[in-house]
Amino acid sequence: MNPKAVSYPQLLGIFGCLALALIAHVAAIPPWVLATVALSGALRLLLARRGRPAPPRGVRLVIAGFAIAMLFLQLRTFNGLSAGTALLALMAGLKLLETDSQRDIYVITLIIYFVSLSALLQGDSFWLLAYLIGVCWLTTAALLRLTTTLPAPDWRRCISYAGRILIQALPIAAVFWLFFPRFAGPLWHLPDDTRTAESGLSDTMSPGDIDHLALSDEVAFRVRFSAATPPPQDRYWRGPVMHDFDGRTWRRSHSASPIAPPLQALGPAFRYTVSMEPHRHYWIFTLDWPSHWDLPGAVLTSDYTLMQREPVSRPVDVNTVSYTRVQSSAPLSKLLRDRDTRYPSDRNPRSVQLAQTLRSTHPDDLEYVRAVLSMFTRQPFYYTLTPPKLTDNPVDAFLFDTKRGFCEHYASAFAMLMRAAGIPSHVVTGYQGGAFNRFADYWIVRQSDAHAWDEVWIEGRGWIRIDPTSAIAPERVEHGLNDADPSSADEPLASLWHRRTPWLADVRLRLDALRQIWRERILFFDPDSQQQLLEWLNIPEPDGHKLVIVLTAALTLVLAWLTWLVRREADPAPAEPLIRAYVRLCAKLAAVGVTRIASEGPEDYAVRVALRRPDLGSAAIALCRYYSSLRYSGATAGITLGQFEAAVRAFRPARAAKPPRASFSTPQDSRGS
Amino acid sequence: MRQAIRNKIRAWSARRHGRDVLPIKIHRRRVYILPTRFGVMLAMMLVAMLLGALNYNSNLGLAFAFLLMSVALVTMHHCNRNLLGLHVDVPAEVDAFAGREATFEFVLRNDSSVERRDVEICCTTAAGLGSVSARAVEVIPVVIPAPRRGVVRVAQFELRTRYPFGWFHSWTYVQGSLTAYVAPAPRGSRTLPAASGVGAEYRSESRGEEDFAGLRAYEAGVPLKHMAWKVLARGGEPAVRSYTSSAAQPEWLEWSSLEDQDTETRLSQLCLWVLESHAAQRVFGLRIPGTEISPARGAAHRVACLRALARYGTAEPS
């Protein structure tokens, strides 16, 4: 039998590892690919169980060609992470089919490692990393069983040995990870992967959009203020701004000019870092109104929303400066004014009528705004997450019939009333408020914090934020959604629990704090963090060169540690101090050219030393004699162990001018001479 | 080409370390290590992983790639460790017959607390494989085929291992000369030249130092162990078993007595005779051109004779 042939248990182990690695990809790989992998693995295992070899080459080639063609037809490309991973998985599956020798299994282990890595390139959670390290551990243990030609040790011992190697590797990996120079950008273009689904706000807003979000506990982003935190009534997180209104739905304007009218700051600046979760849209949420940001390629639109050139498909951190009090003395351009005063005149006739009536009694813009707001306060408007369904003229129906709604109803109706009175206005969507995590000093903004409000243009002051919802339920602005509706029937179930059991909320906050640490320290460890690390190590003027030097030094240290560890295990120092001293003596003599032969006793050795190096002879003979008397005649030695050790330490044999080659000296030649 | 490079490395290492006197302890300065083909594949994959992770700016990907790199580094040390500090001993001379195998029994002693798995010992073309548990001694036989009569010298042997993962190949050369004396295959049709009185049937019954010759009458002073108790038990006269000592008649196994045959046939015949004479506990001498071994008996004598036959016609000194 071929000794390199693979046995059934070996196959089973390695197939199991491949399956575990592919689990991390279940969402990204087409199901039929996974099915193919599972099928060919099962087929091969069945054959192995019966002691039969792999199917013939022709069959395998046909299957492989067919499967790869199928994959290409489906994905249209092999470029990109998802497609590449799918291809890799398929190839691993087909490799399973032909696995016959050790070499094939080696190839499969490499594929397992690579598939694990590609999962990590797409994911970012601690658990994913831990899981894949576990997979890598098992794979390595399977490899251990595979390599050995002797009867393999049992699984438990293999796993514990692979674990030992993994643990010894951790410090080295940590050094690499900390000090290996990072680059700011990608080395080459990254193909876009559409893996994450869109989430959060969208670029349209119609009644019923945001209240869906209100039920979601998902985190939209986190914010850490570097100094002062703005007061609650100023914590509006700006998202997409809606300009075009068709009577029901608000849309982002596509004719927007990219230049934002300049703003003058009136109040203090707030510095903070927004940690965005991927949401597949272009915008970055910032505190109203952003003025500086450190995201390359991001621009501020004419309505002050920060936009990235590509969708936010991976977590991203943006350092931003915002002012909560601004004004704009420049006049509004005609283009922008037209954009924000347009409304469909054939719909919502009662609302238009109402606007014109109110406007006639309040010619001043600000007066008019106040009149509309007081209408919301005085009339029985209700705030509810389950408003009745609205008909063809939703603004009319809301204002005059149902009078029940959520922020989007109020924002939509208010903007419509403004436009009908000729006041430029638009709807801003975003988030409002957020929960403070007192364990780690940052704010968590969840989807349930999603909000919509309005901005109106007042000549001489610029855009002014009006939140009509706060006219109905002022508590909402102060405390967030959970306290707004006492019935609580529509709250996210999770938040309900947390409100009833405070310790659970604490646990959740602590977990979130850990996640944030993970994100800041691990996911976003970048050249800046490395620089800070070097500064922390008291290295003056840290730069790339110094980083490489530190990397080299740290690697040297940790590898020296490893070498020491391994050597000590392989060649333990004798426990007895006397023997240790004798070994040291022999090492000193070996260094000057007379190596003790394993079979040589101390006295013979000393004689040989004397013959080779007459100058060292007497000392060597004396020391060796002391050693043997200490070792064999005990108390009568005439010298104590301490004295012997000191004598060995003091013994410094000089090198001979031309030391004879130690390795050629054998007992025969020395005794013969 | 590859063989030439390998030979160069061997010669270089022989120059570097000089001759070794067994037993030796494997010192780290003589253990070499290189990646295997699979190790090179792994290294290429690691580079690809590193580039990928850097490109995606993925710190988790980097962490994983670095972890695998470090595992490879640790594995390198463990592969090296698998040989480090082992004590190696082997009997320098073994005997064999042509057409059979010569077996060198390597004794590996492991004083450390870590197991040494999959240690392979290679002598020329043959190899033996074994593991040595922590603080244990293991005998690993290396079986060298011995198709022809003569002297097989192994100037150097190699200990190597690919444990734990087959990514690295660690090895050491030991310059210890091992000798296998391959005696001729014992065969031939001639009877022993001095077949005087002692036939094959007696030889098969031989026990002790002397050969049973028959019974004689009891005399006082005969050792009790020589009494023929069975005869007495049957009711016969007390009798004593008598033995003839073959030491009295030394015999010579002569090359010259086989003149009409070719060399190897002669040597095979002589070898058979040596074995037969030894088995018969007889005193015999061996005389072949260039060598004369004076009559004696016992295991050492047998070995000396067989080695003389193995050496015949080779350049080996006697």
Percent of chain B at pLDDT exceeding 90: 28
Highest mean pLDDT among A248-257, B181-190, B193-202: B181-190
Most B-contacting residue of A106, A154, A187, A522 (CB-CB within 10 A), to test interface:
A106
Highest mean pLDDT among A497-501, A513-517, B301-305: B301-305
**pLDDT band at residue B81 using 50, 70 and 90 as cut-offs:** very high
Q: A residues 399-428 near B, CB within 8 Å?
A: none
B113 touches chain A (CB under 8 A): yes
Structure-model confidence comparison of residues B197 and A608, the more confident one? A608
Nearest to A117 among B17, B65, B164 (CB): B65
- Other beta carbons within 10 angstroms of residue A385's beta carbon come to 19
pLDDT of residue B243: 62
pLDDT of residue B205: 40
A296 touches chain B (CB under 8 A): no
**pLDDT band at residue A212 using 50, 70 and 90 as cut-offs:** low
Angle at A354 between CA A352 and CA A358, to 5 degrees: 120
The rounded distance, in Å, linking the Cα atoms of B138 and B232 is: 53
Res B266 pLDDT > 70: yes
- Are the beta carbons of A106 and B113 separated by less than 8 Å? no
pLDDT of residue A474: 57
pLDDT of residue B140: 92
As a whole number, mean pLDDT of residues A389-396 equals 81
Chain A to chain B, count of Cβ pairs less than 8 Å apart? 179
CA A220 vs. chain centroid, Å, equals 16
- Are the beta carbons of A666 and B19 separated by less than 8 Å? yes
Most B-contacting residue of A116, A147, A180, A519 (CB-CB within 10 A), to test interface:
A147
Least confident of A27-41, A393-407, A647-661: A647-661
Nearest to A176 among B24, B66, B130 (CB): B66
Least confident of A369-383, A623-637, B260-274: A623-637
What is the full DSSP assignment across A434-485?
A: -EEETTTTEEEEEGGGEEEEEEEEETTTEEEEE-HHHHH-HHHHHH-GGGT-
The rounded distance, in Å, linking the Cα atoms of B27 and B140 is: 20
B76 touches chain A (CB under 8 A): no
Q: What's the mean pLDDT when you consider all of chain A?
A: 81
Contacts of B56 (CB under 8 A, 6+ apart): A81, A121, A186, A190
pLDDT of residue A63: 79
The rounded distance, in Å, linking the Cα atoms of B90 and B76 is: 28
- Are the beta carbons of B114 and A117 separated by less than 8 Å? no
The DSSP code for B294 is E
As a whole number, mean pLDDT of residues B279-307 equals 87
Contacts of B182 (CB under 8 A, 6+ apart): B95, B96, B97, B98, B102, B146, B148, B149, B150, B151, B152, B310
CB–CB of A99/A11 below 8 Å?
Answer: yes
- Other beta carbons within 10 angstroms of residue A17's beta carbon come to 24
Burial A117-142 (b: 16+ CB within 10 A, else e): bbbbbbbbeeebbebbbebbbbbbbb
Paired sense of beta strands B126-132 and B251-254, if any: unpaired
- Are the beta carbons of B42 and A110 separated by less than 8 Å? yes
Structure-model confidence comparison of residues A566 and A215, the more confident one? A566
**Nearest residue of A to residue B39, measured between CA atoms:** A106
**pLDDT band at residue A473 using 50, 70 and 90 as cut-offs:** low
pLDDT of residue A462: 86
Q: Is B214 exposed, middle or buried (0-12, 13-18, 19+ CB in 10 A)?
A: exposed
Phi first, then psi: give them for residue B127, nearest 5 degrees.
-145, 150
Nearest to A186 among B41, B55, B65 (CB): B55
**pLDDT band at residue A26 using 50, 70 and 90 as cut-offs:** confident
Res A136 pLDDT > 90: yes
pLDDT of residue A665: 42
The rounded distance, in Å, linking the Cα atoms of A132 and A313 is: 22
**pLDDT band at residue A485 using 50, 70 and 90 as cut-offs:** very low
CB–CB of A580/A648 below 8 Å?
Answer: no
Chain A hits for B130, Cβ within 8 Å:
150
Nearest to B53 among A117, A166, A522 (CB): A117
Q: Give the closest-approach CA distance of B225 to chain A in angstroms.
A: 45
Residue among A121, A144, A143, A139 at smallest CA distance from A24? A121
Tens digit of each residue's pLDDT (9 = 90 or more) over A503-556: 777 888 888 888 888 888 888 888 888 888 888 888 888 788 888 999 999 999
Angle at A63 between CA A59 and CA A66, to 5 degrees: 140
Contacts of B277 (CB under 8 A, 6+ apart): B192, B251, B253, B284, B297
Angle at A491 between CA A490 and CA A497, to 5 degrees: 135
pLDDT of residue B138: 92
Chain B hits for A666, Cβ within 8 Å:
19, 21
Highest mean pLDDT among A12-16, A84-88, A522-526, B72-76: B72-76
Tens digit of each residue's pLDDT (9 = 90 or more) over B101-124: 889 999 999 988 888 988 999 988
Chain A hits for B113, Cβ within 8 Å:
569, 572
The rounded distance, in Å, linking the Cα atoms of A172 and A165 is: 11
Least confident of A403-412, A484-493, B1-10, B74-83: A484-493
CB–CB of A219/A446 below 8 Å?
Answer: yes
Phi first, then psi: give them for residue B206, nearest 5 degrees.
-60, 140
Structure-model confidence comparison of residues A129 and A78, the more confident one? A129
Chain A hits for B173, Cβ within 8 Å:
none
Q: What's the mean pLDDT when you consider all of chain B?
A: 83
Identity of the amino acid at B150: G
CA A468 vs. chain centroid, Å, equals 39
**pLDDT band at residue A152 using 50, 70 and 90 as cut-offs:** low
A391 touches chain B (CB under 8 A): no
pLDDT of residue B50: 93
> What does the block give as tokens for A147?
């390599």
Paired sense of beta strands A404-405 and A382-383, if any: parallel
pLDDT of residue A138: 93
pLDDT of residue A135: 94
pLDDT of residue A163: 94
pLDDT of residue B176: 83
pLDDT of residue A113: 93
How much is the ipTM here? Answer: 0.76
Res A314 pLDDT > 90: no
Q: Which residues of A are tagged catalytic?
A: 407, 451, 467
CB–CB of A426/A221 below 8 Å?
Answer: no
> What does the block give as tokens for B266?
């002669």
**Could you identify the residue written with the tokens 């063809």?**
A392
Q: Give the closest-approach CA distance of B36 to chain A in angstroms.
A: 12
As a whole number, mean pLDDT of residues A149-161 equals 81
pLDDT of residue A257: 61
Res B89 pLDDT > 70: yes
Beta strands in A90-153 (DSSP E): none
Res B208 pLDDT > 50: no
The DSSP code for B220 is T
Most B-contacting residue of A117, A519, A556 (CB-CB within 10 A), to test interface:
A117
CB–CB of A173/B63 below 8 Å?
Answer: yes
Paired sense of beta strands A204-205 and A250-251, if any: antiparallel
pLDDT of residue A634: 63
Res A330 pLDDT > 50: yes
- Are the beta carbons of B56 and A117 separated by less than 8 Å? no
**pLDDT band at residue A169 using 50, 70 and 90 as cut-offs:** very high
Res B217 pLDDT > 50: yes
**Could you identify the residue written with the tokens 């700051």?**
A265
Residue A410 Rama label (left phi>0; alpha psi -120 to 50; beta) = alpha
